Structure 1
């Protein structure tokens, strides 16, 4: 329990607004619940959320200590009252989460709280499967990343051993990642392999594709096959053989067939014609194809996981 005495500077505020300012990590809906449950007392009694505080009022807050910390990237999960996760699979070691387009995976300069990893940590904290306040506690971590406006399956490790194994399997290409994408036009041939070297421009947050090795460039390879073509668009399945930044987006654009909706590598006028404002790209399937020992995760070998629905497929290629 923590106790506060209202000073001249805080007098006149509503109780709920004072509480939001004083305990910023406490989610608003939870604060309202605590007020209703009389875990927030004014002069020793329960109170309504819209009561105006007076000089000298004594407030007693029966709230868990962790909510009184200063907000930081490490404790942002406390601010998430109801985690929003579309779980594809979960067991004692990991989560497979279907990330929605528009959600960043990690905190950045534009978003601190509403991120995929924050929602995952809040989910596991509220389930009492994880707490950063235990000695030597491991923080749940992502094993792979997906761009903000790309949707699809992200792997999250619940323990350090899972994170180590997954990172190694990804590096050794023992986890196959499949994407669905819609491109402008038709690929010729309909199936094949895109290869090149990608050079990243950090200032523009963009990559350029070269057909020859270049200083600072990284090799990139993508298998693709056309599933359907209609109305000037093609639905393609892509398998990443390497995992470079913007790999699929940049390679198809370099081949003359940018992704539908891609404002960074495509043409705005073409995207407007189809009413799509962000890239039609989805990491829809993961396959665990271990060729070496998987340790505590060996039970995953030979299994695959797939999302049940991809919005742009339903919109542009119904009945596929």
Structure 2
């Protein structure tokens, strides 16, 4: 009798956990194996992958408890790679030397029901890329190396923006959060210091059409009434000093550099934002201080709020939450 499968030292079976349920087979295999999409497609379409003993299609969705069989050789390669991987227990606080940002360790504001709320430091990109091996995504993976579903940011903040960032620790939470952001069910508020005396009253509605210009890596946003995408923000004054103003921004759309350009184009560039005409000598003073969403964004969950205050030095320190957002309607910008 052939007992070769019984003698296999590495079982080529992957069980779908509760956090992974609902994913497409294609997504599941990419996350679990790290293989490129083309290689995964080939394995599935040639019948080398089985789900509960049956051939499946790449976009079939997986149920909790399903067993996904992969080729024994691939299972052995994954086992060997896992055995040779360095200890990642401290890597969330110790970024790679190549492209490292030397940012402080990640601070977890809240955790539960498939969501991690992170207080993102300025200078750390949400995802890695050219010149950046250190990122929120890589640090989350290092913090939770045994997770069956790799913690995944549900949205993004610009590299130099600090503040609340939500990540998902299950596929169900990820899809629910992404849907909420896409449909603008989530309320996002920012604090920013701008150069100049911002008008009192309001809140004021800023509406533009924004487009990108320049080469990748050095792109800027500009207003373009013909080809731009609609961008809407509501802005109000919190307090002011002799030459600067602290404003709160309620973001209704999420265009690249939206807050920075909309304020700069009206004569109020952000402090530290040299790219859009702001005064230098300071980090970018832009902080995502609050994210909130109503009940049932995640099935069965009540309304949620996550917040953090920025760690800015004097004279820009913010020691308490801004007052509640005014109930008065927004005023059109006419200055």
What TM-score comes out, normalization by structure 1 length? 0.65
User: CA contact under 8 A between 1:80 and 1:119: conserved in structure 2?
Assistant: no
5 Å-filtered alignment, 1:183-198, equals 183-188=194-199, 190-191=201-202, 192-198=204-210
Cα deviation for residue 183 of structure 1 reads 0.4
Cα deviation for residue 82 of structure 1 reads 4.5
More displaced stretch, 310-319 vs 138-147: 310-319
Are 1:288 and 2:298 counterparts?
Answer: no
User: CA contact under 8 A between 2:92 and 2:106: conserved in structure 1?
Assistant: no
Match of 1:66 in 2: 82
5 Å-filtered alignment, 1:267-306, equals 267=278, 270-271=279-280, 275-276=281-282, 278-290=283-295, 293-296=296-299, 298-301=300-303, 303-306=304-307
Bigger radius of gyration among the two: 1
Deviations 1:254-301 (A, max 9, x none): 11110001011024xx33xxx31x3210001111135xx4343x4142
CA distance in 1, matches of 2:318, 2:152: 36
CA distance in 2, matches of 1:318, 1:97: 19
Are 1:115 and 2:135 counterparts?
Answer: yes
Match of 1:209 in 2: 223
CA distance in 2, matches of 1:149, 1:77: 29
Change (3 A) 1:318 1:247: closer
CA distance in 2, matches of 1:77, 1:283: 32
Are 1:259 and 2:265 counterparts?
Answer: no
Identify the structure with the greater helix proportion.
1
CA distance in 2, matches of 1:315, 1:120: 33
Unpaired stretches in structure 2, ≥5 consecutive residues: 1-78, 94-104, 321-335
Match of 2:11 in 1: none
5 Å-filtered alignment, 1:76-87, equals 78=88, 81-83=91-93, 84-87=105-108
User: CA contact under 8 A between 2:91 and 2:143: conserved in structure 1?
Assistant: no
User: CA contact under 8 A between 1:77 and 1:121: conserved in structure 2?
Assistant: no
What TM-score comes out, normalization by structure 2 length? 0.63
What is the total number of aligned residue pairs between the two structures? Answer: 228
Deviations 1:60-116 (A, max 9, x none): xxx9841536xxxxxx9959534432011101401010110011111111121x211
Unpaired stretches in structure 1, ≥5 consecutive residues: 1-62, 70-75, 132-137
CA distance in 2, matches of 1:66, 1:77: 10
Cα deviation for residue 209 of structure 1 reads 2.0
RMSD: 2.5
